[in-house]
Amino acid sequence: MAEGREVQWVEVTEGQVGQRVDNFLMTRMKGAPRALIYRIVRKGEVRVNKKRVKADTRLALGDVVRIPPLRLAPREAVREVSDSLRNLLAGSVLLEGRDWLVINKPSGLAVHGGSGVKIGLIEALRQVREDLDFLELVHRLDRDTSGCLLLAKSRPALLTLNNALKRHEMTKQYLALVAGRWPARRDFVSARLDRFDAGNGERRVRVDPAGKVARTRFAVREAFAGATLVEAEPITGRTHQIRVHAAHAGYPLLGDDKYGTREGGRLAARLGLSRLFLHAAALTFPEPTSGRPVKIRAPLGEELDAVLARARQDR
């Protein structure tokens, strides 16, 4: 990322109205880590109409934002996107509209940087798509989950899609391979979930009566010897919801290093699975401008297809 050498004065346009200062800066200062954004705001180096602001200050039409020169120490700089990642992301766009796009997120790529991650999908895409002045995640996927991920290319689209998400007008279907024979009659798992610190800064989720309401719909798609391919549709959107609900039901996801079992680990190894078998296979959402439903599917990757092929041979 090229460092800015001079102060910039940027006027807020109609598409940026209502945006938080920190998100505005993340878009303008492509590649800058979020911690740096918060630091320069806190120190007063960022001004709106020559006044100090907070990171969550909302911008209005015509506001003038002062952006200071960017000086990144090597340890805090976001990594430049590699040619291989650039090509991978460019070829992973499933469908793109005027103010949104859906990408088939690769497994192993975090959606954003931080906590030791030098570059995430959103930072990389902002470097790849230099033609876009605005690009934000509408929702998230776990680092090890692949599949449909929706992004907004304008502030109004982001707000519209976020509202659709809150009103449950957006549906997501996942494919997961779980250990054991999932019973056909078990079509829902409802268990409250609570996040906790597992040590070393790692955050995990557990079933807890004092946690937040969470419900997932499951349907059997194919049964194998010792494993089942299920479709999972989260009714709520809690962190690690599908993974924890499946484990709570007694059928942990294969390849899950957080909530899996040793027996599941041995089965995954036998099938040649080296990642979490969780794939966001389909996404349906209302198009921001017209309201018409858009349904997009992301094909399984070669590794997951190969795992299913080996599972079928074992039957």
Q: Which residue has the higher pLDDT, 267 or 127?
A: 267
Q: Which residue has the higher pLDDT, 117 or 112?
A: 112
- Topology agreement, domain 83-165 and domain 168-314: yes
pTM (global) more than 0.75: yes
Q: Is the pLDDT reported for residue 36 higher than 80? A: yes
State what percent of residues in the chain have pLDDT above 90. Answer: 67
Of 142, 187, 197, 208, the active-site residue reads 142
Question: Which sequence spans correspond to the domains of the chain?
Answer: 8-67, 83-165, 168-314
pLDDT band with cut points at 50, 70 and 90 for residue 8: confident
Rounded Cα distance, 184 and 262, in Å: 25
pLDDT averaged over every residue in the chain: 89
Class (C level, CATH) for 168-314 = alpha beta
- Does the domain made of 83-165 have the CATH classification 3.30.2350.10? yes
pLDDT tens per residue across span 178-205: 999 999 888 999 999 999 887 776 789 9
Amino acid 120: pLDDT: 83
Name residue, tokens 């009714």: 235
Calculate the CA 196 to chain-centre distance: 20
Q: Is the pLDDT reported for residue 115 higher than 90? A: no
Amino acid 33: pLDDT: 76
Question: Which range among 190-199, 248-257, 264-273 shows the weakest confidence by mean pLDDT?
Answer: 190-199
pLDDT band with cut points at 50, 70 and 90 for residue 35: confident
Q: Is the pLDDT reported for residue 12 higher than 50? A: yes
The CATH number fitting domain 8-67, selected from 1.10.260.40, 3.10.290.10, 3.40.1010.20, 3.40.309.10: 3.10.290.10
Question: Which range among 3-12, 184-193, 264-273, 277-286 shows the weakest confidence by mean pLDDT?
Answer: 3-12
Amino acid 75: pLDDT: 45
Q: Which residue has the higher pLDDT, 5 or 195?
A: 195
pLDDT band with cut points at 50, 70 and 90 for residue 2: very low
In the residue annotation, 305 being an active-site residue is answered as no
pLDDT tens per residue across span 201-218: 678 999 999 999 999 999
